[in-house]
Structure 1
């Protein structure tokens, strides 16, 4: 009888932990549900190695833009220009490549261009005090016009440079095979699991050291197991096709850098502090204007990288490239748990949010659902995610 009561109380405790920390894992549950539902409705086509590879490569450009957008939203700002900025810079890359300029020099120039344009918008917002909505909306118009200028002579600009197109279409060499599977993919998967576990354990230790809130141990263990199973399943599936794509490496490296910056550096604490309470951050000596400018430089860089990945994937620059990228990035962040009131958000969760958005697109395409209905479904999920965030914050306040 006592054992039954203990089991019931443990069940209630676990349920309470899950409900109180729902922001940290909701997107993972959503992603798992999407995978299961689409795999059933497409008769197993969704979880094939070929489709998962396509899904990962399709998600790359949205994921890196979402990483940059996370900082902007944490600061309670917005950037509506990143879509056409990515499209414009992708067009610039196509023009430069077709003029015979070295591919790596092109990448550097495009990334610098993104940083400079981000600096310009950040200065207008941070230094001059023009609202980010107005500034970036104007930027959207400007970059859309520049993209049209770049592509107006030929329309679509084809890219034949194999090195450039391999950024989003190439794969890491297998090295060796294990039962018909790419050995490099399996090794990278194992390294990724160990890296995630070590980094999460160290992050938890640091939070406890400085007496910050930490995820309860049962939920923390659940998260580690979920991550490990997810990475294992992903790498196992991919190893049976072409292995690990360069897109995965790019997204992983970008996510790791930003995660380190936000969690291990003073800059990250300043960003969270400024987003949570700007006045308090200023009183504490934080140069809020510089933080704002940095965030826009950062999102400009990520827009440039997103433009490179997208242009590489479709092997051309088009007049409509970048349309809607900013909406997918913003939705990815909010689905990933970035707070509408600022001060809260993780780049890893935003990347998972990007996978949620692109999984919806991919699965609905496989089902033959029209683009009109796809937009409606995305909109419904987006508003539900934001409504959930507002509702959960209201509960915390009343508690």
Structure 2
């Protein structure tokens, strides 16, 4: 009897551990955790090959560099989830950046007018393409490929292929300024408080409606891990000059679009359209309007990225945003967004953008020629798509 009791205790302990580990890893997004692991591996590798990679200064520059790709990827997620593609965002970045420079330099308009005019231009370009896709039934690939060429050509014609400097002090702050260290600490405290509040709120909500709830220890571990990441980020940024302005834009936009995609009817409709177009139509979803909306948002975010890029470079050039659409698409796919539509997250796109920027940054520090960056990023993109297709095939079996 005593032996049976002891075996029972061991069995119960093993079951508890199994439940704990199962809650931590059994239902997780394997793709997302794999990319986080790959990101850590990339950082460790480049840190060993070049000690300057993991310095506070370089990491601050890295996060600033990823801002443009991240902003574009946030908009691209919704487009791809809806089952489409947008090849024009890089050219919209270039054209709207040129518009901003013309407004500021040639017309000498106030910064607020320049910003509003640039955002309006991006939204209109996105709306036009969305209308062609949604209401004229032209494939998005063709519309945005044509847009990529038209917008780039327009930029060259309007600027006469010249670099236009931007000297407005307010615009210069948007891409180059840093928040004071105290702001970073306050932001970190607020972020940790939000993590704890949202986790406990979600837990209480699931308990209230009778859904399965993970062991409390699992939630504590997750909250501690996320809080540690926030503390590390703030510490590293403050060790240099503070949190860069562009990163705040990325965080704010990511929060807005995370809420939009997961907590609103609009977001659920976009996932439904990408998951099963016919079912979405039979459900009464206005597919045309939603499709036009995602392209409008993509164009708007491209214009925001153009303001950041133009501010950072203090000028608008005809090469601004060149190939940026490829980086944005790769960031989305690497972060788990399916090119088949219906699956993808804003957080995953940000992880993908960080992976892409880390590769660029690390290879540049090592002095590798630029063609290696294209080879490596292209190979990773193909691998990510292959992984997505393989996982989908396994799910159908």
Alignment TM-score, normalising by the size of structure 1: 0.90
Q: CA deviation at 1:341?
A: 2.1
Question: In structure 2, what is the equivalent of residue 167 of structure 1?
Answer: 174
Partner of 2:3: none
1:221-245 CA-partner distances (Å, limit 9, x unpaired): 6554443222211110111111111
Question: Partner of 1:37 in structure 2?
Answer: 45
Whether the 8 Å contact between 2:100 and 2:307 is mirrored in structure 1 is yes
What are the ranges of 5 or more consecutive residues in structure 1 without an aligned counterpart? 175-181
Contact 2:122 2:300 in 1 (8 A): yes
Residue 104 of structure 1: aligned partner: 112
Given candidates 41, 54, 57, the residue that maps to 1:50 is 57
Equivalent-residue separation in structure 2 for 1:314 and 1:107 (angstroms): 16
Aligned residue in 2 for 1:384:
383
* RMSD, matched Cα: 2.6
**Cα shift at 1:249:** 1.1
CA contact (8 A) 2:20 2:215 kept: no
Give the direction of change, closer, same or farther, for the CA distance of 1:391–1:311 in structure 2 (3 Å limit). same
Q: Out of 15, 19, 23, which is 2:31 matched to?
A: 23
Shift of 1:374: 1.2
Aligned counterparts of 2:334 and 2:348: Cα–Cα separation in 1: 8
Is the contact between residue 23 and residue 214 of structure 2 (CA under 8 Å) also seen in structure 1? Answer: no
Q: Secondary structure at the match of 1:340?
A: coil
Q: Is the 8 A contact 1:74 1:338 kept in 2?
A: yes
Displacement of 1:338 in angstroms is 0.9
**Cα distance change of structure 1 residues 91 and 46 upon mapping to structure 2, 3 Å threshold:** same
Residue 123, structure 1, aligned to residue 127, structure 2: no
Partner of residue 194, structure 1: 193
The offset of 1:275, in angstroms, is 1.1
Structure-1 separation of matches of 2:79 and 2:203:
25
Worse overlay, 15-24 or 244-253: 15-24
The 3-state SS of whatever aligns with 2:279 is helix
CA distance in 2, matches of 1:292, 1:213: 35
TM-score (norm 2): 0.90
Between the aligned partners of 1:213 and 1:118, the Cα distance in structure 2 is: 42
Alpha-carbon shift at residue 168 of structure 1 (Å): 1.1
> How far apart are the structure 2 equivalents of 1:216 and 1:278?
38
Taking the aligned partners of 2:343 and 2:334, their CA distance within structure 1 comes to 13
**2:226 matches 1:227:** yes
Greater Rg by CA? 2
Q: Is this contact kept in 2: 1:74–1:275, CA < 8 A?
A: yes
1:92-145 deviation line (CA, Å, top 9, x unaligned)? 101110021011111111111111111100000011110000000000010110
SS at match of 2:53: coil
**Per-residue deviation, 1:198:** 2.8
Q: CA deviation at 1:342?
A: 1.3
**Residue of structure 2 equivalent to 1:309:** 308
Q: More deviation in 128-137 or 340-349?
A: 340-349
Name whichever of 115-124 and 142-151 sits farther off.
142-151
Give the CA deviation at 1:9: 9.1
Evaluate the alpha carbon distance shift between residue 8 and residue 239 of structure 1 in structure 2; reply closer, same or farther with a 3 A threshold.
same
1:132 alignment partner in structure 2 = 140
The 2-side partners of 1:160 and 1:67 are apart by: 29
The answer on 1:267 being equivalent to 2:261 is no
Find the residue that maps to 2:284 and give its secondary structure. coil
